[in-house]
Amino acid sequence: MNYELKYSKLGNNLKSSLIRELLKYASVPNAISFGGGVPDPETFPRHELSKIAAEVIENEYSYVLQYSTTEGDLELAKQMLNLLDKIYGINGLDETNIMFTTGSQQALELAGKVFLDEESIAIVENPFYLGAASAFRMRFSKFVSVSLEDDGMNVEVLEKKLKELDEKGEIKKVKFIYVIPNFHNPAGATLSLEKRKRIIELAEKYDLLIIEDDPYGLLRFEGEHLPSLFKLAGKERVILLNTFSKILAPGLRIGAVIADKEIVRKFVLAKQGTDLCSPALTQRIAARYLERYDLIEQITPTIKLYKSKRDTMIKAFEEYFSDIKGIKWIYPSGGLFTWVTLPEGFDTLEMFEIAKKKLVFYIPGQAFTPDDSKSPSMRMSFCLPPHEKIIEGVKRLKEVILEYGRNEGLI
Ligand X SMILES: *Cc1c(COP(=O)(O)O)cnc(C)c1O
Of the two residues 129 and 362, which places its CB atom closer to ligand X in the complex? 129
| Residue from 73, 75, 212, 213 in contact with ligand X (CB under 6 A) | 213
Residues 67-106 within binding reach of ligand X (CB under 6 A): 103-105
| Residue from 126, 141, 185, 228 in contact with ligand X (CB under 6 A) | 185
At its nearest, how many Å lie between ligand X and the CB of residue 184?
7
CA contacts within 13 A on the Cβ side of 16: 7
| Residue from 243, 312, 348, 381 in contact with ligand X (CB under 6 A) | 243
**Sheet containing 238-243: which strands, arranged edge to edge?**
98-102, 254-258, 238-243, 209-213, 174-179, 121-126, 142-149, 152-153
Site size for ligand X, by CB under 6 A? 14
At its nearest, how many Å lie between ligand X and the CB of residue 251?
9
Of the two residues 237 and 246, which places its CB atom closer to ligand X in the complex? 246
Report helix, strand or coil for 218. coil
At its nearest, how many Å lie between ligand X and the CB of residue 246?
6
Q: Is 129 in the site for ligand X (CB under 6 A)?
A: yes
Q: Is 245 in the site for ligand X (CB under 6 A)?
A: yes
Burial degree of 387 (CB within 10 A; 0-12, 13-18, 19+): middle
- Residue with the CB atom nearest ligand X in the bound state: 103
Three-state SS string across 339-373, please? EEECCCCCCHHHHHHHHHHHCEECEEHHHHCCCCC
Neighbours of 239 (CB within 10 A): 25
At its nearest, how many Å lie between ligand X and the CB of residue 185?
3
Q: How far apart are CA 37 and CA 14, in angstroms?
A: 22
Of the two residues 129 and 352, which places its CB atom closer to ligand X in the complex? 129
- Amino acid letter for position 185: N
| Residue from 180, 247, 258, 264 in contact with ligand X (CB under 6 A) | 180
Contacts of 273 (CB under 8 A, 6+ apart): none
Q: Is 131 in the site for ligand X (CB under 6 A)?
A: yes
| Residue from 181, 188, 250, 334 in contact with ligand X (CB under 6 A) | 250
Measured in whole angstroms, how far is the alpha carbon of residue 223 from the centre of its chain?
Answer: 21
Q: Which stretch binds ligand X (CB under 6 A): 16-24, 245-253, 321-329, 351-359?
A: 245-253
At its nearest, how many Å lie between ligand X and the CB of residue 354?
28
At its nearest, how many Å lie between ligand X and the CB of residue 218?
13
CB 251 within 8 A of CB 49: no
CB 233 within 8 A of CB 203: yes
**123 DSSP β-pair partners:** 144, 177
Q: Is 255 in the site for ligand X (CB under 6 A)?
A: yes
At its nearest, how many Å lie between ligand X and the CB of residue 237?
20
Q: How far apart are CA 360 and CA 34, in angstroms?
A: 8
Q: How far apart are CA 115 and CA 108, in angstroms?
A: 10
At its nearest, how many Å lie between ligand X and the CB of residue 343?
27
| Residue from 152, 181, 215, 385 in contact with ligand X (CB under 6 A) | 215
Interaction site with ligand X (CB under 6 A): 103-105, 129, 131, 180, 185, 213, 215, 243, 245-246, 250, 255
